[in-house]
Structure 1
Amino acid sequence: MDHQPSVPPVYQLAPEQVAGPYFRNPRLLRRNISEGAEGLPLLLRLTIVDAMTGEPVSGALVDIWHCNARGAYSGWSRINPDQEVDVEDIGSIPRTDDDTYLRGGQFSDHKGRVRFTTIYPGFYAGRALHIHVAVRIVAGSEYLDERNVAWVGQLYFPEVVSRSVLNARAYRGRASSPLNNCQDHYYTRMGGEASTLTVWPISRDSHEDGFFGHLTIGIDTFAVSSQIKPEDFDKYTV
């Protein structure tokens, strides 16, 4: 019997999405980004692969940022998350503080994986629950020696899990209500279904113990993102 050589899987390119007004570059290489923020734990694993070859992308710098259980972003902690903000451009909202909770970056390992310890995000008015991600292809091992920003996206959550989370104490008592995924025009307009995490509880007994989340992200390693330019990482630095 002839043995055919194994062919690595080829992944669909993950859809790019806007970076949003709360992007900044705190230059924090760290796995645990929670800084003690209140909320249900989320152990997040992302796998970065070359969509053309299916091979893992090692050494990519993966940054994530998201709001806390009450909908606030570090750097903008005094912005009221229950009032909808009608802007999406980087730098369009002046910062209010120098906090850095729920932000950080990791280099992908030889299997293209990064892991973050964080919390399940809350929401802010006019949006579904989501996490922002930027993937930089680095030219060397130095943190700021990036060749290009290859991909910028947003990660979404299964509705049934989010409903359970938003009933937890840290998330209740808001003056606004979250959009579900299909009501969020970024999700519907920019292919959010392909960017929805697989999420499952850490414990069978209680969701209070938190969740695991995973997604494989297929990128073009030679692409140049239209959402964040390399100079933005210097411009919007702590």
Structure 2
Amino acid sequence: MNDTNMHDEADNADVSQVLLNRRRLLTLGGVATAAAGLTALGGWAGTATAAGKPVSAAEAAAACALSSESIEGPYYLDYLLLRRNVTEDRIGVPLNLNLRVIDAATCRPIRGAGIEIWYCDSLGVYSGYTDNGSGGGTPPPAPGPTATPSGDPSGPPPGGGGGGGGHQEPTDDLTFLRGLQITDRNGFASFLGIVPGWYAGRALHIHTKVHTEGTATPTGYVGGHTCHTGQFYFEETLATKLELIEPYVTNETARVTLDSDFLYDGTGSTGGLLSLRYDPRRVERGVKADITVSVDPTATNDGQNGGFPVPSASA
């Protein structure tokens, strides 16, 4: 299915060089020095500040509550690849993911934030972990003591940490379905990819981090801190349709429903549920997904502590 691949050579041809350049930046003088030097490039530099048009009254009423925090999970890699198209060679239903980041206190958009996504392919496989096969996504243990986080999104992936699901060491250098965009003056950023599949223990989801108070560069984002770690979810109606079409139909892992997912908190858009648009008769043509992420830009939420739904009193 050629139109499902949405491969963007301009976005992906220099991935290895981007990773190499970033490692060199961190080696030569550290993150702070690199950020200071890259500021002089102009056009790319800038910190996350509230600016641009305010959200509409309807959007504010629905979105100004803080978005739910979640665990980072075991498959995060801090590549921070600046690119809109994250598809690479993966096949699946085309996804146009449109995100908006706003300040929960003011309901105004946040300009210059780095919003990052990573997720599995149609068969439940994560880049960097292809040797693990389909996800390995069994529920992690309950949160436990973790090392003090650095709060630096450009640092190495954290190891251990029961609260974050326990980071796993990568098995390869692949980078599909990972990327970062910088929000514009109205808080918007968008990605092109495919709709994710599923793996053991989890419903369809996309991981996200929002980085603020750092600096955008020609290859990514340096400095600052992670103010939000969350996950985006897909409605059950779409998931049942995916089960019937290629390549999702070949995924033999039992799919967990959204209501049975152990991390989705059931709060709708606040909990990460995406607003979807697609032709129910021709899902293979593509899906458009939108959500507003409401954050505290001064907070640090790196996904290493908590992030599990709080049981209700009745439960």
TM-score (norm 1): 0.85
Matches within 5 A, 1:144-183: 144-183=221-260
Q: Which residue of 2 aligns with 1:115?
A: 190
Q: Secondary structure at the match of 1:177?
A: coil
Q: CA–CA distance in 1 between the matches of 2:71 and 2:132?
A: 20
Q: Which residue of 1 aligns with 2:206?
A: 131
Please tell me the residue identity of whatever aligns with 2:293.
Answer: I
Please tell me the residue identity of whatever aligns with 2:198.
Answer: F
Q: Which residue of 1 aligns with 2:131?
A: 78
Matches within 5 A, 1:25-64: 25-64=78-117
Q: Which residue of 2 aligns with 1:208?
A: 284
Q: CA–CA distance in 2 between the matches of 1:86 and 1:156?
A: 17
Identity percentage of aligned residues: 31
Count of matched residue positions in the alignment of Structure 1 and Structure 2: 222
Deviation at 1:51, TM superposition (A): 0.8
Question: Which 10-residue stretch deviates more, 114-123 or 75-84?
Answer: 75-84
Q: CA–CA distance in 2 between the matches of 1:115 and 1:38?
A: 19
Please tell me the residue identity of whatever aligns with 2:129.
Answer: W
CA contact (8 A) 1:149 1:228 kept: no
Please tell me the residue identity of whatever aligns with 1:93.
Answer: Q
Matches within 5 A, 1:93-104: 93-104=168-179
Deviation at 1:81, TM superposition (A): 1.5
CA contact (8 A) 2:137 2:199 kept: yes
CA contact (8 A) 1:29 1:106 kept: yes
Q: CA–CA distance in 2 between the matches of 1:96 and 1:192?
A: 35
| Unaligned residue ranges in structure 2 (runs of 5+) | 1-54, 141-161, 306-315
Q: Secondary structure at the match of 1:141?
A: strand
The structure 1 residue matched to 2:74, chosen from 21, 35, 40, is 21
Let me know the Cα RMSD of the aligned residues.
2.3
The structure with the larger Rg is 2
Deviation at 1:168, TM superposition (A): 1.2
1:186 and 2:239 equivalent?
Answer: no
Q: CA–CA distance in 2 between the matches of 1:126 and 1:196?
A: 18
TM-score (norm 2): 0.65
Higher strand share: 1
Deviation at 1:167, TM superposition (A): 1.6
Which contiguous aligned blocks of 4+ residues in structure 1 show a shift greater than 4 angstroms?
190-193
Q: CA–CA distance in 2 between the matches of 1:58 and 1:106?
A: 11
| Unaligned residue ranges in structure 1 (runs of 5+) | 1-5, 230-238
Deviation at 1:223, TM superposition (A): 0.7
Q: CA–CA distance in 2 between the matches of 1:27 and 1:82?
A: 21
For residues 113-152 of structure 1, what are the alpha-carbon distances to aligned partners after superposition, in whole Å with 9 as ceiling and x for unaligned? 1100000000110000000000000333334432211000
Please tell me the residue identity of whatever aligns with 1:175.
Answer: E
Q: Which residue of 1 aligns with 2:273?
A: 196
Higher helix share: 2
Q: CA–CA distance in 1 between the matches of 2:302 and 2:135?
A: 29
